[in-house]
């Protein structure tokens, strides 16, 4: 797991349950029969996903093998899994029910909901017969207490099943994580690392969730993405390869904010806690303290924090090419504001990485959404992600989270700038192997002379 922002939650996978044919639902069920039938429907669709990913946080590019799970949702070989399983993967191998290992490629990713769609690259002999695919269930009909099963590969133990119930069907975990666009299922079916991306299945053998997170030091607290969310996102990924969301810059706060023990006097609507600087909302004239009543024709109800994802989705769906009307109460009577989302759609959640191997450091593009603290100082640019602790960058005095402003006098605005300078400096054999780097460290400028005279990797190999 690379999400350092999730101290307690981590991704897992769950096994999913079995299916009962309709005419037998009313009869008292033998739990073993139920499990067996559900399992039979989904078990063949289970995939063990093994990506090789590149990891940049330690100051050098390292390859890591990650294990997760997925489920086939289309006979052509589309597999749903979690984004955190396959992000930054350079190669993905999947093990199918018939013990065949095939490669896969990413068809689309959505980090905001932690979903990814893979396309299995089936060899010819497997293309002939359609793959068994699991069916989506209706997650809105699930209730707390319903039996569910989690399928997946916890700790690499492939094709495992665990059984539990739904502990909660409307869980908001946006405080501890960045998942602010959806609610989650909470279950006590065992979810462990390796379960990530696997299906959570009801007694009918339908996918009603995608197992994603566990809770550190807790037992029986795991989270899955509800099927309706997963289905919708998967469709968009299949169609567009990504999910575009509009960014308005509105910070929402529920009317009854138990997290902060803060409550607002209003029956409907949602509180605008703040408006980000230089955002479409600011340009439209919204202010913190406003009560947002409707987006377009749709009234908004944000009483509890669990209501916020739906509102956010509403705002995220605003079209980029025409203004939308927001009805707001700021005093009486309510006012209308026109908000235009162009041209900024919400960009990448995480910037791209680059390994400056000779300098023994890795850099990353600043992403406003992925690196809010760094982006505060410089919304666009490149920062030092990791520094090897006996490397050239470290010895020269560079530290993680330093923002690069200039290297060798050349301004650094994008990752491409870094790559260009890096290659030019390294290929110029005549110049001395030192470069002046101007950085922003916690908002204050400093200068460092990066000395890369030593080729430490070579030294280690010799």
Partner 1 sequence: MTHSPTGGAWRRPTRRPRWPLALALAAALPTPLSGGEADNGAPQRQPAARAMKTAEEAPSGRAGAEALDDAAFNARIRAVARDAFVTVHVTFRKDPAELQPPAPYHARYEDQGPEDLAREIAHRFVDDCRTLDLPGLWIDAAGTVLVTDLGFPTKLIDRIEVRTGDGKTIAAEPHAVLRDAPGWRLAARATGPCPAPAFADPGPVTPDMELTASWIEEIDGVWSISFGPLGGATLPLSGAPHPAWFRLGGGGGAPLPPPGPWGEVGNATGLTDRPLHLLFDHNAVPVGVALHERLPLAPEAPATWRGPAVQHGPAVTFEALRTLERKVIEAADRQVAEVKLTFRMTAPEDDADYRPRGSAPYLRDPFASPEEGRERTVYGLAVAPRRLLVPLGLNESLAARIERIDVALPGRESFVPGRFLGAFKAFAGFLVETDQDLAEPPPDLFAIEILPRVRPIATLRVVHKYGRRTSVFGYARILERQRGYRNRLADLPEPPLAPGTLLFDLDGRPAGFVATLRRDDEKVRALRDPDRGAYTAPWESGLHAEDNRLFRFRDIRDALEHPETAFDPDIRVKTKFEERRLVWLGIEYCLLNRELTRHLGIENPTKSGQIGVMIVDVYDGSPASRLGLRDGDILLAVREAGGQEPVELRFHEGDHAGFGMRYVGSAPPPESEEELWLAEPPWHSQRTPLNLLLTSIGKGKPVILTCLVGGKVIEKELVLEEGPPDYESTDRKKHEPTGLTVRGLTYEVRKALKLPPEAPGVVVSKVEEGSPAAVAKIHPYDVIQRVQGTAVDSPAGLVAAFESACAAGINTVKVQTLRLDRTRFVDLRFDMEVPAERIGKPGSEN
Does the N-terminal peptide bond of residue 333 adopt cis geometry, omega within 30 degrees of 0?
Answer: yes
Distance in Å, CB of 230 to partner 1, minimum: 29
Stretch that binds partner 1, among 30-38, 344-352, 356-364, 443-451 (CB under 8 A): 443-451
Residues between 410 and 429 with contacts to partner 1, criterion CB under 8 A: none
d(CA 68, CA 72) in angstroms, rounded, equals 14
| Residue 288 touches partner 1, criterion: CB under 8 A | yes
Candidate list 16, 84, 162, 402, residue with the active-site label: 84
d(CA 316, CA 339) in angstroms, rounded, equals 12
d(CA 418, CA 351) in angstroms, rounded, equals 13
Distance in Å, CB of 209 to partner 1, minimum: 29
Candidate list 153, 162, 167, 196, residue with the active-site label: 196
| Residue 44 touches partner 1, criterion: CB under 8 A | no
Stretch that binds partner 1, among 94-102, 190-198, 256-264, 300-308 (CB under 8 A): 256-264
Stretch that binds partner 1, among 81-89, 113-121, 183-191, 436-444 (CB under 8 A): 436-444
| Residue 453 touches partner 1, criterion: CB under 8 A | no
Stretch that binds partner 1, among 24-32, 35-43, 321-329, 445-453 (CB under 8 A): 445-453
Contact predicate 164/234, CB 8 Å: no
Look up 196 and say whether it is catalytic: yes
Select from 36, 33, 107 the least CA-distant residue to 70.
Answer: 107
Q: What 3 state SS string does 393-416 have?
A: HHHHCCCCCCEEEEECCEECCCHH
The residue from 245, 271, 312, 364 that contacts partner 1 (CB under 8 A) is 271
Look up 451 and say whether it is catalytic: no
Based on CB atoms, which residue is closest to partner 1, 429 or 444?
A: 444
Candidate list 83, 110, 114, 204, residue with the active-site label: 114
Look up 353 and say whether it is catalytic: no
CA atoms within 13 A on the CB side of 382: 26
Please report where in the chains the tokens 């200068």 appear, as a residue.
447
The residue from 5, 100, 127, 322 that contacts partner 1 (CB under 8 A) is 5
φ/ψ (deg, to 5) at 106: -85, 125
Distance in Å, CB of 138 to partner 1, minimum: 36
Based on CB atoms, which residue is closest to partner 1, 93 or 257?
A: 257
Based on CB atoms, which residue is closest to partner 1, 90 or 428?
A: 428
| Residue 431 touches partner 1, criterion: CB under 8 A | no
For residue 428, the SS3 value is coil
Contact predicate 373/347, CB 8 Å: no
State both tokens at 9: 């939650």
d(CA 186, CA 326) in angstroms, rounded, equals 33
The 10 Å CB-count burial string (b at 16+, else e) for 299-321 is ebbbbebbbbbebbeebbebeee
| Residue 258 touches partner 1, criterion: CB under 8 A | no
Based on CB atoms, which residue is closest to partner 1, 53 or 368?
A: 368
Binding-site residue total for partner 1 (CB under 8 A)? 41
Whole-angstrom distance between the N-terminal and C-terminal Cα of the chain? 33
Which residues of the shown chain bind partner 1 in the complex (CB under 8 A)? 4-5, 251, 253, 257, 259-264, 271, 273-277, 288-289, 371-374, 376, 387, 397, 399-401, 434, 436, 441-449, 451
């Amino acid at each position: 797991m690379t999400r350092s922002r999730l101290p307690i939650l981590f991704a897992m996978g769950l096994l999913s349950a079995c299916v009962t044919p309709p005419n037998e639902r009313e009869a008292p069920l033998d739990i073993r029969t139920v499990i067996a039938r559900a399992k039979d429907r989904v078990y063949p669709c289970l995939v063990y996903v093994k990506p090789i990913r590149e990891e940049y946080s330690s100051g050098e590019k390292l390859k890591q093998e990650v294990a997760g799970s997925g489920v086939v949702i289309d006979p052509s070989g589309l597999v749903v899994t979690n984004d955190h399983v396959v992000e930054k993967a350079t190669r993905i191998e999947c093990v199918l029910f018939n013990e065949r290992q095939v490669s896969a490629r990413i068809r689309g990713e959505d980090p905001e909901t932690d979903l990814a769609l893979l396309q299995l690259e089936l060899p010819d002999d497997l293309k002939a017969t359609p793959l068994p695919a699991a069916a989506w269930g209706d997650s809105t009909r699930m209730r707390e207490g319903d039996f569910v099963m989690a399928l997946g590969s916890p700790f690499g133990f492939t094709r495992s099943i665990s059984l539990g119930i739904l502990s909660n069907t409307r869980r908001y975990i946006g405080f501890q994580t960045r998942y602010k666009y959806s609610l989650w299922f909470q279950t006590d079916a065992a979810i462990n690392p390796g379960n990530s991306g696997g299906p959570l299945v009801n007694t009918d053998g339908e996918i009603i969730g995608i197992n994603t997170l566990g809770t550190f030091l807790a037992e029986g607290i795991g989270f899955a993405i509800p099927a309706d969310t997963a289905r919708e996102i998967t469709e968009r990924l299949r169609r567009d390869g990504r999910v575009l969301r509009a960014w308005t810059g509105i910070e929402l706060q529920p009317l009854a904010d138990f997290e902060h023990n803060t409550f607002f006097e209003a029956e409907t609507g949602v509180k605008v806690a703040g408006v980000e600087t230089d955002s479409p909302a600011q340009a439209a004239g919204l202010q913190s303290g406003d009560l947002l009543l409707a987006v377009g024709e749709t009234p908004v109800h944000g009483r509890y924090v669990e209501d916020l994802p739906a509102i956010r989705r509403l705002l995220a769906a605003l079209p980029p090419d025409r203004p939308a009307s927001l009805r707001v109460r700021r005093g009486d009577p309510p006012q209308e504001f026109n908000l235009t989302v162009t041209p900024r759609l919400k960009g990448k959640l995480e910037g791209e990485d680059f390994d400056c191997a000779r300098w023994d450091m890795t850099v990353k593009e600043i992403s406003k959404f992925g690196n809010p603290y760094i982006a505060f100082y410089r919304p666009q640019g490149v920062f030092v992600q990791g520094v090897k602790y006996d490397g050239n960058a470290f010895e020269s005095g560079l530290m993680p989270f330093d923002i690069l402003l200039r290297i060798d006098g050349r301004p650094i605005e994008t990752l491409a700038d870094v790559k260009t300078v890096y290659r030019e400096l390294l290929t110029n054999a005549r110049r001395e192997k030192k470069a002046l780097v101007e950085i922003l460290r916690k908002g204050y400028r400093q200068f460092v002379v990066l000395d890369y005279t030593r080729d430490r990797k070579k030294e280690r190999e010799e």
